[in-house]
Amino acid sequence: MAQEKTFNKIKVIVAKDYKEMSRLAADLILSRIRSKKKINLLLPAGDTPKGVYSILSKQPEDLLKKVVFFNFDEYCQNDGRKRISEDNPLSYRYFMKRHLFNNIRKVKDYFANEENIKQEGAYDRKIKTLGGIDLCLDTLGRDGHTFGFNFPGTSFDSVSRRVKMNKEIKRINEKKTGYKTPDYALTTGIKTGMQSKEILFLASGKEKADIIRKVIYAKKPTTKIPATVLRLHPNCCWIIDEDAASKLQ
């Protein structure tokens, strides 16, 4: 049974396990979708949101038609000039089709494209013209990167752009997928995510316990731990499972 707890003045919903965390997150997202005629969602790929997407993908198509989907990131080809093909198993477009869009015939989805390679912030401007992000589902990496590939040292004012992949994250991703991770990716910026009207932040597993402790107990938000910026958002709901919360006091 989930419990609301307070750590360092931050209210956190601690779910029993990954399944409960996913259900709570999906319930919140669905409540927001039902309350609006149209809603813009900014979403991540990766293991953490898979349970949420499994629940959302089973919802009536008429409900999901109300959603305009935006995504944090996408890999580039090795020369960094174009996105990888959406048929590539490493592609996040491929991931979203497999885990969320599989039951939606007409998906309204937007990913950063080559325009963003040429000009930083192009994706942000696209988001703005379509009404801004109503709800952002956010996660974090073991080094605290968040809102896509915003690695330690990234400015809190960063916008969508092409980035060179972090060596440690490449190593972790290659171990997970068995594929060589591309050298470049397109990503939203920290500012992109923080401009969302509402943020739903998720973390799961013992491997995230150390970084969650650092995010919660850092003296102040710092670019050394990008996810600490979430503490500055006025409307951020934190849901983590017991394993991720295991080093909080």
Instruction: Give Cα 164 distance to the centre of its chain.
Output: 18
Domain assignment present for 117 = yes
Proportion of the chain above pLDDT 70, given as a percent: 100
Q: What is the pLDDT of residue 159?
A: 98
Domain assignment present for 248 = no
Domain assignment present for 183 = yes
35-53 b/e with 16+ CB inside 10 Å = b? eeeebbbbbbbeebbebbb
- For the segment 114-133, the average pLDDT, to the nearest whole number, is 93
Q: What is the pLDDT of residue 140?
A: 98
The pTM of the full predicted model, rounded to 2 decimals, is 0.95
- Work out the pLDDT band at 103, boundaries 50, 70, 90: confident
The first and second tokens of residue 103, run together, are 């039951």
Domain CATH number, residue 99:
3.40.50.1360
Domain assignment present for 77 = yes
Distance from C-alpha of 22 to C-alpha of 204, rounded to nearest angstrom:
10
Distance from C-alpha of 71 to C-alpha of 28, rounded to nearest angstrom:
19
Instruction: Give Cα 168 distance to the centre of its chain.
Output: 19
For residue range 67-82, list pLDDT tens digits in order. Answer: 999 999 999 998 888 9
Distance from C-alpha of 212 to C-alpha of 214, rounded to nearest angstrom:
5
Distance from C-alpha of 49 to C-alpha of 175, rounded to nearest angstrom:
19
Residue 129 CB neighbour total at 10 angstroms:
8
Distance from C-alpha of 144 to C-alpha of 12, rounded to nearest angstrom:
17
Domain assignment present for 216 = yes
Domain assignment present for 188 = yes
Domain assignment present for 249 = no
- For the segment 118-145, the average pLDDT, to the nearest whole number, is 96
Distance from C-alpha of 70 to C-alpha of 197, rounded to nearest angstrom:
14
Helix%, strand%, coil% for the chain, nearest 5: 35, 25, 40
Residue 109, domain extent: 3-241
Gyration radius from the chain CA atoms: 17
Q: What is the pLDDT of residue 1?
A: 87
86-118 b/e with 16+ CB inside 10 Å = b? eeeebbbbbbbbebbbeebeeeebebbeeebbe
Q: How many domains does one find in the chain?
A: 1
Nearest to 242 by CA among 212, 217, 218: 212
Sequence-distant (6+) residues with CB within 8 A of 246 are 206, 209
Sequence-distant (6+) residues with CB within 8 A of 229 are 146, 156, 190, 194, 221
SS3 202: strand
Whether 195 has a pLDDT exceeding 90, the answer reads: yes
Q: What is the pLDDT of residue 168?
A: 82
For residue range 149-184, list pLDDT tens digits in order. Answer: 999 999 999 999 999 998 888 888 888 777 788 999
Strands 3-7 and 10-15: antiparallel
For residue range 196-241, list pLDDT tens digits in order. Answer: 999 999 999 999 999 999 999 999 999 999 999 999 999 999 999 9
The first and second tokens of residue 163, run together, are 């980035």
For residue range 17-46, list pLDDT tens digits in order. Answer: 999 999 999 999 999 999 999 999 999 999
Domain assignment present for 169 = yes
Q: What is the mean pLDDT of the chain?
A: 95
